[in-house]
A = this chain, B = another copy of it.
Amino acid sequence: MGTKAICPGSFDPVTHGHLDIIRRAARTFDHVVVAILSNPRKQPLFTLQERLEMLGEVTSDLPNVSVQSAEGLLVDFVRSQGAHAIVKGLRPIQDFEYEWQMGMVNRDLDPEIETYFLMSSKEYSYLSSSIVRELAGYGASLDEHVPPRVAERLRAKFASKQKL
């Protein structure tokens, strides 16, 4: 049956940094499920449907990776998938506090589920979806940060915003 890991995030949009973590987890674990979390308190730039499409496109070459949306508590989703491991990327500076707290809360909720942290690759160590969205708003080049199809969608999104 094999080991299975969940890679959660809001992926608004997916960046090279996210993809790097997904690819690396897919080399260690037999199956990887990318879980798109919806945060009821944040208005995303991309709809859940758009994020599902983008993640599907950019992981289409990874046979042991699938993409799903997840509502409610993450640990409930992990259990529903018959999984016991979460894999999260950790950037050296900005992620530590938040990810550690979330990881500990998840351990309290279900001690059977483990969060494994992978160090972000050096080249993506300061990349985040929020910075990508901000750069897109300024019309800056996005090729170093996101796959081409995602860059295209970002440009389209901000072009349509301009028109309003």
Which chain A residues have a beta carbon within 8 Å of chain B's beta carbons?
2-3, 24, 27-30, 40, 72-73, 84-85, 87, 90, 92-94, 96-98, 100-101, 103-105, 107-109, 112, 114-119, 121-123, 125-126, 128, 131, 135, 137-138, 140, 144
Contacts and interface: CB of A to CB of B under 8 A. Distances in A.
Contacts of A87: 116
A114 B108 CA distance: 26
Closest 8 CB pairs of A and B: A104-B126, A117-B117, A116-B116, A122-B122, A94-B97, A101-B126, A93-B97, A28-B85
A117 B90 contact: yes
A45 to B, nearest CB: 13
A149 to B, nearest CB: 21
Contacts of A2: 2-3
Given A73-B138, A90-B117, 7 more contacts: A28-B114, A92-B125, A93-B100, A114-B118, A117-B117, A117-B118, A122-B123
Nearest to A25: B114
A112 B24 CA distance: 9
Contacts of A137: 40
Contacts of A28: 3, 84-85, 114, 116
A83 to B, nearest CB: 10
Of A2, A93, A116, chain B has the most CB atoms within 10 Å of the CB of: A116
Contact of A100 (B27, B29, B100, B126): B126
